[in-house]
Amino acid sequence: MTTRRRFLQGAGAIVLYFNAPPSVRAQQATETDLPGSLAANPGLGTWLRIDADGTVTLSPGKCELGQGIQTALAQIAAEELDVSFERVTVATVDTAVSPNEAYTNGSRSVEVSGAAVRAAAAEVRAILIDLAADELGVGSTKIGVRNGIFTVAGKPSTLDFGAVVKNLNLARNATGTVSPKPRDRYQIVGHSLQRIDIPRKAYAEAAYIQDIRLDGMLHARVVRTGDCEAKLLPPANFDAVSELPGVVKIVRNGSFLAVITEREEQAVNAAKAMARLCRWQGAELPLQEGRISAWLKKAPADVKVVAERGAIGAGNILRTVSQEYSRPFQAHASMSPSMAIAREAEGQLTVWSHTQGVFMLRGAIARLVGLDEDSVRLINAEAAGCYGHNGADDAAADAALIAMQMPGKPIRLQWSRADEFLGEPYGSAMTTRISAGLDDAGRIVDWQFDVWSGTHSIRPAGAKRAAHLFAARQIAVPLPLAPVGNIPQPRGGGDRNAVPLYAFANQRITKHLIRDMPLRVSAMRALGAYTNVFAIESFMDELARAQGEDPFDFRIRYLHDQRAIGVLGRLREQMAAAGFDSVQAPGGVGIAMAQYKNSGAYCAVAMRVKVDAASGDIKLEHALCAVDIGLVVNPDGAINQVEGGIIQSASWTVREQLRLTASGVRSTDWASYPILTFPEVPKVEVVLIDQPNEPSLGAGEASQGPTAAAIANAVANATGVRVRDLPLTPARVKSA
Amino acid sequence: MTISLNVNDKIVQLEVDPDTPLLYVLRNDLELNGPKFGCGVAQCGACTVLVDGRPQRSCVMPVAAVAGRSIVTLEGLGSREHPHPLQTAFIKEQAMQCGYCSNGMMMTAAALLAKNKRPTEDDIRTALRGNLCRCGAHGRIVRAVSEAARNGHDGDTS
C-alpha cells in the first residue's frame, strides 16, 4: 500500500533541506491561522509537487463531481505559482496521498480548498524563489517568476522551476507567512479557461470509474429490495443459480445478498434469478403518497427554536396570514447507477469509489468489514454527477463486503437503475408553515416559520457512522445505529435557509426534526434550502400581490444586505433587456431571491411560463438569473453550475416525486420517475455580478430554492392559481 | 457461439452468448469507453451507438442482432487527433458538467446531422428528447450541436 511518505519519495527530485529559506523563516504560524483546509493539512508536499520538467501536480482533497473543481483549483495554483495553467495537473483524491478535506459538499470547495491551494502555492513559490536566489547569487527580492521561469530584475533568467527542484523539499508545514498575489494582478483566476476534464470525456478516453478495468476483475450484483431493514426469509436455496453460466460465488451475510460472476451480463441474469427465489419481510410504509405532510406534522419530532428576534405578538398586528408549503421525497437520480471496485489482498482492502469523501468512507468501510482503518485505502474516481449523498457510498460498502469474500480478486459491483432508485438515500419530504402578522399599513411585523423534516445527513462519516451504510443494516449482526441528527445553524439541515434574509421586527423559526423517517433520507443538493426558500419566496410573493405591490420593491423594503438588493436590481435590468413583462403585470413571470445558507451565494431568478388552461401543464419558457458569488475563479464554470442548478430545480419543481405504495417506493426507472427532457427545459441566461474583492462563494446550490419559487410565482401570476405543494403537477395547477 | 462484429470499421470475432447486450460487449470485451451504462432499459440514451447510421440503445440490443452490421461508437466518431465537429463543439461550448450523458448526446446528434445539415434549435431538442441529462447542460448541448452543424459536418457517420 502506498503511504504518503512513499508518494513524496516518489516525487523524485527531493532531498533533505534543513534550513528554511529566509522569506519563510518567520515564526511558525499556529495551524488554526492557516486558511481553509490548510489548517488541518499543513504539509505543503501534501498539496503540491513540482517535477524536474517543471510540471506541477496539485493534489487536493476535494473530488471532481462534474462541477469543475479540479479546473478551478488548478487555476488558483497556476496563478499563485506563476506557471502556465497547462503545466498543472490535478491528482485524484486518494486516502494514501491526499489531504483530508472531508466531504466535497455544501458548495464550499472553492472557499476552503481554494483558500488552502492559494496559500500553499504562494508559499511554494516563495520557497522556489529563495532556491533560485541561492543558485543565481542574487537577493530573493530581485527575483520574480513568469510562466515558470525565474526573472531577475524583471528580465528572464536561465533558470526555471525544474532547475531548482533538486533542492526543493516540500516535506514541511506551511507557515502562513507568505502573502498571496494581489487580486489586481490576476491573469488566470477570473478567466473562463476550458475545463481540464472535458476533452477526455468528449473523446471517450478513460475518464470515469466505469472505465477502470483491472486484470482478473469479476463482476457482481446485489439482490435486495429498497428497504434496508427488510429481512431475507428462509428457505432461500440458490443451488439452481449456482449452476447458471459464469457464476463464481453467491455471497450471503444475514440479509445481504450478492452474486459474483465472470462476465457482467451473467451477473445481471444471476441476480434476476436470485431475486425470483427471495422472499423478504419488511414493514409497510406508514405514510401514503399525497398525505405526506399530514404524516410529518403528526410524527414524533424534536422541536427546537433555531432563531428568534424580538417578541412574537409584540407588534401592532392587525391581521395574520398563514400558509403551508411542502415538498415530497425526491431522488438524486444520478445518470450513472452507483458502482465500485474493491480488492482484498493480504489483509489490505483497496476500494475505488465515486464517493464525495474518501477519508470518511474509509473509516466506515473499515468498521463494516472489520479491518483497521490503516488497512483500507479509498481511491476516488469520477462517475456521473451525484448532487449529494446518493448510492455511491453504499455501493462501495457492498463491493467491499463482496471483495472480502473473494480474496485477491478485484470485484466490480454495479447497481442496476432500480437498485439506485430504490437504494439511494432520498431528499427528505418536508412541510413548512408560515404565519405573518401585518400591521395597519400591511407591513410584516411578526413572522413565524415552522419546518417539519427528516434529517439531511446520514452520511457514513467514519467508523462511528458506518451503521448508516445500506449493507450495515442487512448483515447478520447489523451495526448499532446512532441517532440521526441535524446540521446545526447557521448552515442548518432541514432548517437551512429557514431563517429569512428579510429583517422582520419579531420572528421565531422552529424546526421539527423527525428522527425516525419511514424512508432513508440524506443530503440532496441544497438540503432544506430548496423547500424553505420555495416557501418564504412564495409567501412573500403572495403578500406583495395581495397588497398590489411590486414584488421587487416589497422584498427590498425588508432587506438591509446590499448584495441581496444588488442581485434583485441586476435581475430587474435583465428582465427589461430580455423583454419580460413587468413582474407586477398579469402574465407569466415570477421572481425569487435567496442567499444560500444565509452565508453563501446571492441568487435571484426570474422565470417566464405559459400555462395550458385545459391541461394545467406548465411550459417553462425562459429563466433569467443574477448571481453574486464574490471573487469568481472561472466565470463560465460558475455559470454552468448555476444554469444546471436552475434546470435541475425546475425539473424537481414541476415533475419530480418519489412514487409510493404501502410496500415501499415504486419509482424504479425513468418512466416511474420522469425528469424534464430537452423539449421541456427553459432557455436559461445567467449573469455574474463582479465582486473581485469579496471572498469566493460556491455556485452549485444557490439557484435551487429561488428557481422553485420563481416558477410557482410565475404560475400564480399567469393563472391566479397558487400551488403550495411540490411538484406543481398539471392536476394541482388545475384544481388549486 | 462466435459472433463477428464490425465496430468502428474493425472486424472483431467474439465468443459470446448471442443474447448478451451489445453494451457489455463494447465496454467489457472491446474496452470501449464511449457507450455508458445508464439504465439498462433503453430509457436514458447514455449507451447510444450508431448501427448502420441509426442511433440505437446498445443496452437492450442483443449482440447477435447486430452481427455483420456497421457499429460506430464515440471512439469511431473522432479522437483527439481527428476530432469530429461535434467533439470539437462540445469542448468549445463546454457542453457538459459530469459528461456522462455526452456520449448519447453526440451519437444521437451525429445521426441528426447526417440527415439534417442545418437543424433548428427545435429540431435539435426534438432529436434529443429521448436522451436524459441530469446536470442541466441542455442549453449548452443544443448550442454545441448547432455549432457543429455550422462547422461543415460532412454527414458521413457510417
Residue that terminates a domain, selected from A149, A174, A202: A202
Please indicate, yes or no, if residue A695 is contained in any of the structural domains. Answer: yes
Helices and strands in chain B: count of H runs, count of E runs: 6, 5
Q: Which residues of A touch B90 (CB under 8 A)?
A: 198, 202
Chain B interface includes A686 (CB < 8 A): no
Contact: A387, B75; criterion CB under 8 Å: no
Helices and strands in chain A: count of H runs, count of E runs: 19, 26
Closest CA to A590 of A726, A496, A444, A719: A719
Contact: B133, A335; criterion CB under 8 Å: yes
- Please indicate, yes or no, whether residues A261 and A338 belong to a single structural domain of this protein: yes
Interface of A with B in 255-284 (CB under 8 A): 263-265, 268
- Please indicate, yes or no, whether residues A167 and A213 belong to a single structural domain of this protein: no
- Please indicate, yes or no, whether residues A184 and A273 belong to a single structural domain of this protein: no
* Minimum Cα–Cα distance from B136: chain A residue: A644
**Residue A88 main-chain phi, psi, to 5 deg:** -100, 125
- Please indicate, yes or no, whether residues A340 and A270 belong to a single structural domain of this protein: yes
- Please indicate, yes or no, whether residues A529 and A616 belong to a single structural domain of this protein: yes
Q: Which residues contact B80 (CB under 8 A, 6 or more apart)?
A: A199, A203, A205
- Please indicate, yes or no, whether residues A691 and A625 belong to a single structural domain of this protein: yes
Q: What is the pLDDT of residue A485?
A: 84
Q: Please give the angle made by the CA atoms of A203, A207 and A212, to the nearest 5 degrees.
A: 125
Contact: B131, A643; criterion CB under 8 Å: no
State the nearest Cα–Cα gap between B1 and chain A, in angstroms. Answer: 14
Please indicate, yes or no, if residue A36 is contained in any of the structural domains. Answer: yes
Q: pLDDT digit string (tens) for A109-153?
A: 998 999 999 999 999 999 999 999 999 999 999 999 999 999 999
Please indicate, yes or no, if residue A266 is contained in any of the structural domains. Answer: yes
Please indicate, yes or no, if residue A487 is contained in any of the structural domains. Answer: no
Please indicate, yes or no, if residue A213 is contained in any of the structural domains. Answer: yes
What is the DSSP secondary structure assignment for residue A583, as one 8-state letter? T
The C-alpha cell of A134 is what? 541561492
β A218-222/A411-414 pair status: parallel
CATH code of the domain containing A250: 3.30.365.10
Q: What is the pLDDT of residue B1?
A: 84
Tell me the pLDDT of chain B averaged across its residues: 95
Going from the C-alpha of A733 to that of each of A108, A613, A618, A684, B1, the distances in angstroms are 37, 9, 8, 23, 56
pLDDT value at A5 more than 60: no
Could you tell me the pLDDT band of residue A14, with boundaries at 50, 70 and 90? very low
Could you tell me the pLDDT band of residue B84, with boundaries at 50, 70 and 90? very high
- Please indicate, yes or no, whether residues A48 and A175 belong to a single structural domain of this protein: yes
Q: Which of B134, B140, B147 to mutate to test the interface with A (most CBs of A within 10 A)?
A: B134
Better-predicted residue by pLDDT, A715 or A3: A715
For residue A280, give the H/E element and its range. strand A279-281
- Please indicate, yes or no, whether residues A419 and A440 belong to a single structural domain of this protein: no
- Please indicate, yes or no, whether residues A607 and A497 belong to a single structural domain of this protein: yes
Nearest CB to B94 within list A195, A263, A417: A195
DSSP string, A634-687: -HHHHHHHHHHHHHHHHHHHHT----EETTEE---STTTS----GGGSPEEEEE
Task: Please give the residue range of the domain that contains residue A34.
Answer: 4-202
Nearest CB to A675 within list B100, B102, B134: B134
Contact: A385, B91; criterion CB under 8 Å: no
State the nearest Cα–Cα gap between B36 and chain A, in angstroms. Answer: 8
Residue that terminates a domain, selected from A154, A173, A202: A202
Distance, CA of B34 to CA of B77 (rounded, Å): 10
Q: pLDDT digit string (tens) for A74-113?
A: 999 999 999 999 999 999 999 999 999 999 988 889 989 9
**Residue A364 main-chain phi, psi, to 5 deg:** -65, -45
pLDDT value at A25 more than 80: no
Averaged pLDDT, A423-449: 97
Q: pLDDT digit string (tens) for B104-138?
A: 999 999 999 999 999 999 999 999 999 999 999 99
* Minimum Cα–Cα distance from B60: chain A residue: A265
Q: What is the pLDDT of residue A492?
A: 96
State the nearest Cα–Cα gap between A301 and chain B, in angstroms. Answer: 33
The C-alpha cell of B57 is what? 440503445
pLDDT value at A15 more than 90: no
Chain B interface includes A104 (CB < 8 A): no
> Domain tally for chain A?
3
Averaged pLDDT, B61-73: 97
- Please indicate, yes or no, whether residues A409 and A545 belong to a single structural domain of this protein: no
User: Are A261 and A413 within 8 A, CB to CB?
Assistant: no
Please indicate, yes or no, if residue A481 is contained in any of the structural domains. Answer: no
- Please indicate, yes or no, whether residues A446 and A398 belong to a single structural domain of this protein: no
Sheet bearing A247-253, strands edge to edge? A247-253, A256-261, A218-222, A411-414, A339-345, A348-353, A376-380
Residue that terminates a domain, selected from A183, A202, A221: A202
pLDDT value at A643 more than 80: yes
Sign of the CA dihedral running B54, B59, B62, B66: positive
Distance, CA of A535 to CA of A494 (rounded, Å): 13
Please indicate, yes or no, if residue A290 is contained in any of the structural domains. Answer: no
- Please indicate, yes or no, whether residues A245 and A182 belong to a single structural domain of this protein: no
User: Are B2 and B14 within 8 A, CB to CB?
Assistant: yes
Q: Please give the angle made by the CA atoms of A489, A597 and A557, to the nearest 5 degrees.
A: 110
State the nearest Cα–Cα gap between B92 and chain A, in angstroms. Answer: 8
Q: pLDDT digit string (tens) for A473-527?
A: 999 999 999 888 889 999 999 999 999 999 999 999 999 999 999 999 999 999 9
pLDDT value at A17 more than 50: no
Q: What is the pLDDT of residue A736?
A: 66
Contact: A669, B41; criterion CB under 8 Å: yes
Nearest CB to B135 within list A202, A383, A644: A644
Q: Which of A79-93, A235-249, A525-539 has the lowest mean pLDDT?
A: A235-249
Please indicate, yes or no, if residue A484 is contained in any of the structural domains. Answer: no
Averaged pLDDT, A428-445: 97
Within 10 angstroms of residue B14's Cβ, the number of other Cβ atoms is 15
- Domains of chain B listed by start with CATH number: 2-76 (3.10.20.30), 85-150 (1.10.150.120)
Closest CA to A719 of A619, A571, A572: A619
